[in-house]
Amino acid sequence: MYNTRILSGSARCVALLLCALGPRVAYAVSDWQLSADDLARLDRREVLLPPRPEAKYAESSFRAAIEIDAPAAQVFRTMTDCAQALQFVPHLLRCAVLETAPDRSWQIIEHEVTYGWFLPHASYVFRAEYEPSARVHFSGVAGDFVENEGDWRLAPRRAGAATVVTYQAQVLPRFYVPRWLARASLKRDLPALLLGLRAHCESP
């Protein structure tokens, strides 16, 4: 039985976006090599939202990237701080740590979210595995999503003064969501998630 507690500012969670629909499919963030054009767009402070891959990739899989003017260690602390996540993760109402490894290399975390009129409330539990300042891998344990897995990866840039954050996830809810609604929400919420993370990392 998990010992539930609400996270404090020093506790960890993973800032997740959950709004997609489609069959299970897998691809790795490491498959995504940023091009010179991608890097130029990051220089212009854009959020990268690559076009969907070929048909063999399902609509439940998506990825995005952003550059943040902060060291990777600072970005990692921000994105794994539940108190801050509640301020910038779209639709996140609550997060709680259910279990923590003695060395803090992983945690079991619960999130509660709301998406408004079409999905008033959803909750899910996931396992977050940490590579400090480099990577967070999350995988679903229980809740309202059949599939919930992905990665956050952090890569230093500009001699370590900046960090490129890439995000890849594959999500399959247990409930029906119209495809047009899933696409519209994803187009709005994924940039909002990354821009919110950047704003918090770059704020004084």
The three-point CA angle 9-13-15 to 5° equals 110
Residue 125 maps to a domain: yes
Q: Examine residue 95 and state whether it is found in any structural domain, yes or no.
A: yes
**What confidence score (pLDDT) does residue 26 get?**
35
CATH of the domain at 39: 3.30.530.20
Structural domain of 35: 10-60+68-202
What is 145-170 written as a DSSP string? EEEEEEEEEEEEETTTTEEEEEEEEE
Give the separation between CA 19 and CA 97, rounded to whole angstroms. Answer: 22
Q: Is residue 140 part of a domain?
A: yes
- Does residue 100 sit within a domain? yes
pLDDT in tens, 53-76: 543 444 567 789 999 999 999 999
Taking the C-alpha atoms of residue 100 and residue 6, their distance in angstroms, rounded to an integer, is 13
Within a domain: 139: yes
In a domain, 17, yes or no: yes
**Domain-located, residue 194:** yes
Who wins on pLDDT, 16 or 73?
73
Give the residue with greater pLDDT, 23 vs 131. Answer: 131
Contact 11, 117 (CB under 8 A): no
* pLDDT tens-place string over residues 89-99: 888 888 888 89
Nearest alpha-carbon partner for 170 in 72, 53, 88? 53
* Segment 165-199, tens digit of pLDDT: 998 877 666 566 555 555 666 667 788 889 999 99
**pTM, to two decimals:** 0.76
pLDDT at 115 over 70: no
Residue 2 lies in a domain: no
Q: How many domains does one find in the chain?
A: 1
Q: Give the tens place of pLDDT for each residue, 132-165.
A: 999 999 888 886 666 677 899 999 999 999 999 9
φ/ψ of 176, rounded to 5, equals -80, 135
